[in-house]
A and B are shown apart, each in its own frame.
Chain A
Amino acid sequence: MSDSTIQHHEESRDVTFRVHRFNPQVDSKPYFDDYTIRLEKGITVLRAINYIKEHVDSSLTFRAFCQAGICGSCAMRINNMSKLACTTQVWDELDKAREPGVIKVEPLRNLPHIKDLVVEMDPLVGKMQKYSNWVDSKMPEEQWGKKEFLVSEEEFLAYDKATDCILCASCVSECTILRAHKEYVSPAVLLKSYRMNVDSRDAMHDQRLAGLVQDHGVWDCTHCYRCQETCVKNIPIMDAIHGIREDAYASRGSKDTSGARHAEAFMDDIEKKGKLVEATLPIRTNGVVWTLKNLLPMAVKMVIKRRTPPPPPLVKASKGIDALRKEFKEMTSHVGKDHEKKSGE
């Protein structure tokens, strides 16, 4: 047995961290500080900025706790992507850096800023509360502890992956809709809502669903897949979002609501074109007036801030039209089955 670590020569080099700084108590506007430190290969971004805090600038402020990718504290934007600093290798980021040897570190977006790399998490907690992100047990509280629910493998698998979420808010930070609409439910909250709704022990499915199809709810999602691409736990968030939509579609069925109209348009698109034409989707769903009033300002705002508007949000191009058609068929047949199941109960 050979042990690679024994012969391993630790490679080291100078790395610059370009860190977003802002302390509302003293600064009138945010700025960047460059810290250049010598690092060995194998170090995480969190260890690096910890080093900066301990040895270079103790006022540099960020959250971190477990250092093991499980508490969700240390999410920040590293080279323009939200992720956990404690599970991100500096060397990997160097490969992605736009300017050689420089790693850009910024706070999460879409949440109010507090200081340097720290943002306010309360809005997210507020949304978890608003959308009842808890199991409302089928068992009355007085009887808790007496016997366990029986849960089949299939029932368990329905929510298993979603319970990996550590509420790090990386997906929240990257969500395209949230950038314009802070009231939007948020991907993590959709995921959690879905997790509760498919839990066989939960009793408030209908009520939770009713909340999710209101304004700022599930229908506002543009299906840009950005949240899923971001998720630090590789959770298929879009499955949850699709799941809620299917569920809503099945249990409402009516064509009058804005949500269902949106869904119709959505299904139409997939069937015909194999992709979502999000640009026309809001118009078909909400009418021209609504679109002008609500979405145009967002585009204008983004231009003013000299940000590129979100890329035309296509369903992953690699999938190909046939795969999408198939997915759509499965989805619709599933809806039918789901419906039968429910009425059969």
Chain B
Amino acid sequence: MKPFDIVIVGGGGAGLYAAMEAMKTNPGLNIAVLSKIYPNRSHTSAAQGGANAALANKAKDDTVEMHIFDTIKGSDYLADQDAVEVLCSEAPKIIRELDNMGTPWSRMDDKTIAQRPFGGAGRPRCCYCADKTGHTILQTLYEQCLRKGVIFFNEYFALDLSVDGSRSRGLIAMNIKTGKIEAFPAKTVIFATGGYAKMYWNRSSNAAGNTGDGQAITYRAGIPLKDMEFVQFHPTGLRKSGLLVTEGARGEGGYLTNALGERFMSRYAPEKMELGPRDLVSRSLETEILEGRGFDSPAGKYLHLDLRHLGADIIKSRLPQIREMCMYFEGVDPIDDPVPVRPTAHYSMGGIDTDNLGRTVMQGVYAAGECGCVSVHGANRLGGNSLLDILVFGRIAGRAAAEECQKFNPTSIPEGELAEKEHELRSFMQPKGHYERYGALREELGHTLGMNVGIFREASKIKLGIKEIESLKERFEHVRVFDTGDIYNTNLLQVLELKNMLDLAETVAAGALVREESRGSHTRTDFPTRNDEKWHKHTIYTMEGGHPKIGYKPVTMGRYELQERTY
């Protein structure tokens, strides 16, 4: 294949924005987007709530400055302040740009883009399209990429970076429809492969494929990861499936209640109540359950999200998708009954370590979106800031790659690497005396993470978790792929995804163990307070001998001094 200037891995919001911007920056470039699912199916489509921007349409006194402060405070002061400044000052522009290209934002009476309150924000600044915000943004971007003639390699699964010393030669990927392993020599590669929260499996709101492939690929190629221990739990996952009821439901005025009928948030965040930041609300739910004030059922303990008082009209017009989901997956119509919920693993703050232009330490390799870590979310992401992150930094990475690729020489990928990969994949299909089923390992991984590296963490449990992950990694060696065909082999793909999750799970657990403090989403019951003196720093992971080695990096400060975080 002829060498590309830019290969973008991932067709979610981050990848598509990168593609558009790269084409805009230099229409002469040879750019490809490669995605393991059709881009419009990416997990960005699941974002219901909205994207933050200080447009000041709703609250006239809202400012970019306030958005910056809310984000830094929300991050428990672990975000890099220069990056947050970029995020928030670009926000109004990016929301308008999406409007200009066709995103169907909900409107207010004065015809401007509507905004609603969201957790952890001082003003109502979350822009939305009913409860299908991510879906409509993704559709718009996909449509615009089709308009611009972006070249898509749909249903291609990225396997490895090809590395030559300190630079990348491009990407090795499998064409899912044919099973063929193909080389994508490229001057630059942008990873935009989304998050890794699916490693919590049944206790995750994520799509089946949010397995952290990009993070695992770069990690194995020697690129450092950052802040992996920070995994956000969303307070309101549906009890049975872990699927999400958007924060928008609370933004519209929904209550959280326990088995005693109390609006228990008054105990934890008397002012913000249900609209406190995610980590705090999730911990509150978990505490209510642990202290015995939850409901019991065969599918586990849970609490209630009560929307009934909003009335049928509001529920139907503003939260139609949520209503549908409650009916399909819980058999509950929120108009008539409270919705059974419990916290669910939702978002990965950690990711591939990049600078403010999306660059990694390896020449020609970039990352953006949930798979990257700039870091704008620090120890805890605010609702509505992730869609913003993927758009803003997707665009920046696209532009940076388009500009920088001119400086790099074209490359080629040695044939031998493809043959080697082919051999490696085939070996999964060899009959083994004793074999393991990937489905079982996947479930066990989710279970051990949920139990030992979940919302509340402590040394002894995390150590147990690490042991179990190690033993799962050993058992993985015996996993057998029974589908030996080439065409659309999802059996093989799911095994490869499991491998990625296992590698990353090790970093999450290792980070959770070393960080002896509680900050944002990371709560150590044995170290219940934030310890700025020792731990106001990023954790950095590099792979050594197949396991993570942890280092540190300072947090970039700016206008805002460290403060205690209360709501």
Contact = CB atoms under 8 A, between A and B. Distances in A.
A139 B340 contact: no
B329 to A, nearest CB: 8
A166 B328 contact: no
Interface residues of B, number: 75
A282 interface: no
B45 to A, nearest CB: 5
B112 A148 contact: yes
B298 A10 contact: yes
A163 B132 contact: yes
Nearest to B99: A148
Nearest to B295: A3
Contacts of B107: 151-153, 156
A148 B483 CA distance: 51
B483 A59 contact: yes
Interface string A118-138: 101110010011001111110
A152 B55 CA distance: 18
Nearest to A88: B328
Contact of A150 (B112, B130, B243): B112
Contacts of A145: 93-94, 96-97, 100
B45 A166 contact: yes
B240 interface: yes
B488 A61 contact: yes
B147 A6 contact: no
A73 interface: yes
A229 interface: no
Interface in B221-248: 240-241, 243-244
B139 A66 contact: no
Interface stretch (B34-42, B419-427, B454-462, B539-547): B34-42
A62 B518 CA distance: 42
Contact of B97 (A65, A129, A144): A144
Interface string B483-494: 101111111000
A201 B324 contact: no
A115 interface: yes
Interface string B95-121: 111011110111101111100000000
A163 B437 contact: no
A69 B324 contact: yes
A151 B328 contact: no
Interface string B466-510: 000000000000000111011111110000000000000000000
Contact of B41 (A24, A65, A160): A65
A115 B488 contact: yes
A21 B356 CA distance: 49
B437 A55 contact: yes
Interface in B492-550: none
Given A54-B439, A133-B143, A145-B100, A71 B46 contact: yes
Interface in B142-175: 143-144, 146-147, 154
Nearest to A167: B40
Interface in A158-209: 159-160, 163-164, 166-167, 196, 199, 201-202
A61 B179 CA distance: 14
Interface core residue of B41, B55, B132 (most chain A CB under 10 Å): B41
22 contacts: A5-B297, A8-B298, A55-B439, A58-B483, A62-B490, A65-B207, A66-B41, A69-B325, A70-B45, A87-B328, A121-B38, A134-B146, A145-B100, A148-B100, A149-B99, A150-B110, A153-B109, A160-B130, A163-B136, A163-B139, A166-B135, A201-B102
